Amino acid sequence: MKITEFLKKELQGWNYFEISGLVLVFIIIFTNAIFLKDSPAAVINAVCGILYTLFAGKGKISCYFFGLAGSMCYIYLAFKNALWGNMSLYLLYYIPMQIIGIFKWKKHLKQDTKEITKIKLPAGDRLKLIFLAIAGCVFTIMLLVFFKDKSPVIDGVTTFLSLLGMYLTVKRAIEQWVIWIAVNGLSLIMWLNLIIHGVKAYSTVVMWAVYFILAVYFYLSWKKELQE
């Protein structure tokens, strides 16, 4: 496929609400960067992260290219702020899984729109997922307490749930958005706390707030598509 044809397919299917919302968010991010002297890594991470979430929600494989770029910036930010759980998550799991996701999604693209086909997990699998989430979060929190993480509870929960969320993203399952709603909400609280204590990462806070809104939006969107 030619690059121009690929780009045309990737940008297909956007509505006015999505485009205007994206423009507004980017205006807020760049305004923060200029007037509040935000970290360049935080700005790049926010832009790439929001584009990743939007393209993932639209079922477009190009989301992973933005995800890889944003992940590198987030690793730097997490390292600077001693968020070892989040840093390890992105370095050892997100980046490899995003590379795997490119090849997995490529096998399940609709020929006409180049969007992925979406699935819903069976009831039994969802129950197993809940038990795994509870046990994994408890173990991760205990591990981060041992390593003197600054926010062991929120960092631990978001770290383990993100493992499940990324796995479900690669599987193209709607349940991923339920996970991301929880992860994004808790991550927003964690970074707001860091801002209160003097960390200059305002774009990162905006990013997590937008992530939370997008997770709710795309859960409802995928649910409607699967019902149809």
The pLDDT value recorded for residue 1 is 53
pLDDT tens, 31-57?
877 887 777 877 887 888 888 888 899
Quote the pTM value: 0.81
Tokens in use for 167? 């796995």
Number of structural domains found in the chain = 1
The pLDDT value recorded for residue 9 is 67
Say how far apart CA 200 and CA 185 lie, in whole Å: 20
Dihedral angle sign, alpha carbons of residues 218, 220, 221, 227: positive
CA angle, 16 then 22 then 26, to 5°? 150
Q: Please identify every stretch of the chain with a pLDDT value under 70, giving residue numbers as ranges.
A: 1-11
The pLDDT value recorded for residue 10 is 67
Q: Where in the sequence is the domain holding 53, given as residue range(s)? A: 3-227
Closest CA to 194 of 33, 39, 34: 39
The pLDDT value recorded for residue 81 is 79
Contact present, 197 and 204 (Cβ < 8 Å): no
What per-residue string of b and e applies to 168-203 under the rule 16 or more CB within 10 Å gives b? bbbebbbbbbbbbbbbbbbbbebbeebeeeebebbb
Say how far apart CA 86 and CA 160 lie, in whole Å: 9
